[in-house]
């Protein structure tokens, strides 16, 4: 295992990502279908900020368990009960309750925990607030997508912009699907996490595309590798960077998700960290296995790259993606691969 890690770090392991594009397309299609099915069948478990509800806060005179708190509210006739322990006692979120029912629940909670009715405070949250947050998030998402398309088209080309946007949508749908099947609550913090993973996923794709642009710029009529093979070589040169970036970014998120929320019950952090955790993993996968293969599919339709592929196929001048990836791309133009030159300088 350590040997593979060392070879991976030195860039000596070449994976035929692009050559296995059908496998990745099939896997992504399966994940997307499962995710969409979850959204259709279960839907998203929207938080009280989106549906509206009542929040009761109180601090019992004695130590009580979470089961005791939940049972007290259920016995009072409340159907949806979300219990959280905070530094100031307990916070119980319920469905939206009529005024007379609110008083009844306050009395039941006060009686159950030895408090006065006024010690059980109430906060009513309207559904309109969550709706406004969702509208703002959708508007921000649309502006983000348009800005990304414009930027990538100007910095690279429209085919790279299209591949990157498809990968972003892929990441969003699968992350939302995880929420649908798991039943985790979607809150405004979750939406912030969704928007954050878009930036992360885009960064990874831009790094890969930048290297692809650099190595494929050397492809000419006498090239000894196809666009597919050159792109796969570029992908392998950025592989360790992508994996390192993901590992460094995901460690603190995993710590917050699995330790912070488990031990300390940080509800808002859980909403945010879960979307980041899932989104980072899916984003790394999509930048390697979705965005680049899709870009190659689009680029291989161009006449100049089709001519190279036909010439090499006729002469048997190039093999599989992995085999070609081990060949220096720069050799096709009489030089050293750009990625290798950078590594030597480092």
**Would you kindly state where each structural domain of the chain is located, as residue ranges?**
15-45+130-315, 53-125
CATH fold of the domain at 15-45+130-315: Multidrug efflux transporter AcrB transmembrane fold (1.20.1640)
Domains 15-45+130-315 and 53-125 share a fold: no
- pLDDT of res. 321: 44
Q: Is the pLDDT of residue 289 over 60?
A: yes
Q: Is the pLDDT of residue 319 over 80?
A: no
- pLDDT of res. 130: 62
Most confident of 32-36, 100-104, 106-110, 145-149: 32-36
- pLDDT of res. 346: 40
Give pLDDT tens digits for 50-74: 777 888 888 887 888 888 888 888 8
SS3 sequence of the chain: CHHHHHHHHCCCCCCCCHHHHHHHHHHHHHHHHHHHHHHHHCCCEECHHHHCEEEEEECCCCCCCHHHHHHHHHHCCCCCEEEEEECCEEEEEECCCCHHHHHHHHHHHHHHCCCCHHHCEEEEECHHHHHHHHHHHHHHHHHHHHHHHHHHHHHCCHHHHHHHHHHHHHHHHHHHHHHHHHCCEECHHHHHHHHHHHHHHHHHHHHHHHHHHHHHCCCCCCCCCCHHHHHHHHHHHCHHHHHHHHHHHHHHHHHHHHHHHHHHCCHHHHHHHHHHHHHHHHHHHHHHHHHHHHHHHHHCCCHHHHHHHHHHHHHCCCCCHHHHHCCCHHHHHCCCCHHHHHHHHC
Average pLDDT, the chain: 79
Give pLDDT tens digits for 193-241: 887 888 777 888 888 888 888 888 878 777 788 888 888 888 888 888 7
CATH of domain 53-125: 3.30.70
Q: Is the pLDDT of residue 266 over 60?
A: no
| pTM value surpassing 0.75 | no
């Amino acid at each position: 295992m350590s040997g593979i890690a060392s070879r991976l770090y030195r860039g000596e392991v070449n994976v035929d990502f692009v050559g296995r594009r059908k496998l990745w397309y099939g896997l992504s299609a399966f994940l997307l279908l499962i995710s969409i099915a979850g959204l259709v069948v279960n839907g998203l478990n929207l938080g009280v900020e989106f549906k509206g509800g009542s929040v009761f806060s109180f601090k019992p005179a004695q130590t009580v368990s979470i089961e005791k708190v939940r049972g007290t509210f259920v016995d009072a006739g409340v159907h949806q009960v979300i219990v959280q322990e905070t530094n100031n006692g307990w916070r119980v979120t319920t469905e939206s309750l009529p005024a007379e029912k609110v008083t009844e629940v306050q009395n039941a909670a006060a009686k159950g925990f030895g408090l006065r009715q006024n010690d059980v405070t109430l906060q009513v949250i309207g559904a309109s607030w969550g709706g406004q947050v969702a509208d703002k998030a959708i508007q921000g998402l649309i502006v983000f997508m348009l800005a990304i398309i414009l930027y990538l088209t100007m910095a690279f080309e429209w085919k790279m912009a299209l591949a990157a946007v498809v990968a972003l949508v892929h990441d969003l749908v699968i992350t939302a699907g995880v929420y649908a099947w798991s039943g985790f609550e979607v809150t405004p913090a979750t939406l912030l996490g969704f928007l954050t993973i878009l930036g992360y996923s885009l960064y990874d794709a831009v790094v890969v595309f930048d290297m692809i642009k650099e190595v494929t710029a050397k492809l000419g009529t006498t090239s000894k590798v196809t666009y597919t093979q050159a792109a796969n070589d570029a992908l392998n040169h950025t592989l360790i960077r992508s994996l390192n970036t993901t590992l460094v970014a995901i460690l603190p998120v995993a710590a917050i998700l699995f330790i912070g929320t488990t031990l300390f019950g940080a509800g808002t952090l859980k909403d945010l960290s879960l979307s980041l955790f899932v989104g980072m993993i899916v984003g790394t996968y999509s930048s390697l296995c979705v965005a680049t293969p899709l870009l190659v599919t689009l680029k291989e339709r161009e006449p100049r790259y089709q001519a190279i592929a036909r010439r090499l196929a006729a002469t048997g001048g190039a093999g599989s993606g992995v085999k070609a990836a081990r060949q220096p791309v720069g050799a096709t133009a009489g030089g050293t691969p750009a990625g290798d030159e950078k590594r030597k300088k480092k």
